Amino acid sequence: MSEEFKKLPTHIAVIMDGNGRWATARGLPRAEGHRVGTEAVRRLIKACVDFQIKYLTIYAFSTENWARPKEEVNGLMLLLESVVVNELESLDKEGVRIQHIGRLEALPGNLADKVRHAIEVTHNNEKLVLNIAWNYGGRDELVCAIKHMIQDGVKADDVNEQLVSSYLFTSDTPDPELLIRTSGEQRLSNFLIWQTAYSEWVITPVLWPDFSKEDLRQAIIEYGNRDRRFGKVSSSASK
Ligand code: IPE
Ligand code: IPE
Ligand code: MG
């Protein structure tokens, strides 16, 4: 069922934050916040399909998150596994194409193979592209891109913004028009540092496990009311 919005972003990027605080506020272990957080992920994907969003990128595990206690890191890895294994069939049925951004090879055990399998199974789906940022860091992505450019023998004169974009993990994804961060934190935390240069930010105090379809609707409405100027003076630049 399509919804009426003034403007609909093609690509929404989400920093899913606040799982730990959600759990602590209830006297629960942080792991329980992460578990309930996966239910919010499932809701978000459904809501994006309903609202006819074409690309969704979710920040699930950063390159800095390895510094958390080992037990928490292991728990988060198991949760990713449960999403890409247990939800694969239903995501596939819903027309979701799963992609991964970040360094897949560094994931423990055969998790990388499971993610590759989910990518392979869903690669013809067209309703929604779901980019899972897992072991992702914006700076790491740029380092990776520069290394590959040098390996390919790219000449200095040929380097331009388009070329740099083509070397990023997101090479086949348009830049996000809308960036949502939950839990009230006002920072990028190394997420999509190149791609969000002109994204509109919507920061909500809602903690990630509580994030609902209605919260997404409100964020898209707020985006629709923004005057996107891209450095120009008139609102005619607005998309
Ligand atoms: C987001 O919630 C999930 C991940 C970063 C993996 P947090 O775990 O960061 O929750 P808070 O910020 O400590 O509340
Ligand atoms: C950002 O949240 C990373 C993810 C949501 C995966 P963090 O909770 O790790 O970020 P900081 O440490 O508050 O900046
Ligand atoms: Mg956090």
Ligand 2 atom 8 nearest Cα? 17
Residues touching ligand 2 (Cβ under 6 Å) are 15-17, 59-62, 65, 185, 187, 189
HSE, side-chain direction, 13 A CA sphere, residue 43: 16
Cβ(135) to ligand 1 under 6 A? no
User: Residues 21, 207: contact at Cβ < 8 Å?
Assistant: yes
Tens digits of residue pLDDT in 141-167 = 999 999 999 999 999 999 999 999 999
User: Residues 79, 35: contact at Cβ < 8 Å?
Assistant: yes
Cβ(38) to ligand 1 under 6 A? no
pLDDT range class, residue 238, cuts 50, 70, 90: low
- The Å distance, Cα 16 to ligand 3 centre, comes to 8
Domains of the chain: 11-137+175-229 (3.40.1180.10)
- The Å distance, Cα 195 to ligand 3 centre, comes to 21
Ligand 2 atom 3 nearest Cα? 62
Q: Which residues pair with 15 in a beta bridge?
A: 59, 181
223 exposure class (CB count in 10 Å sphere: 0-12, 13-18, 19+): buried
Token code pair at residue 3: 């919804």
Tens digits of residue pLDDT in 47-96 = 999 999 999 999 999 999 999 999 999 999 999 999 999 999 999 999 99
- Listing DSSP states for 68-101 in one string gives S-HHHHHHHHHHHHHHHHHSHHHHHHTTEEEEEE
What pLDDT sits at residue 125?
A: 98
Q: Which atom of ligand 1 is nearest to the CA of 185?
A: 12
Tens digits of residue pLDDT in 168-196 = 999 999 999 999 999 999 999 999 999 99
Token code pair at residue 185: 């934190």
Cβ(18) to ligand 1 under 6 A? yes
Cβ(31) to ligand 1 under 6 A? no
Residue found under tokens 């193979």 = 113
Taking alpha carbons only, the member of 194, 64, 174, 73 closest to residue 129 is 174
| Catalytic residue positions, numbered | 17, 65
What pLDDT sits at residue 237?
A: 56
SS (H, E, C) 192-230: CCCCCCCCEEEECCCCHHHCCHHHHHHHHHHHHHCCCCC
Contacts of 48 (CB under 8 A, 6+ apart): 12, 56, 128, 216
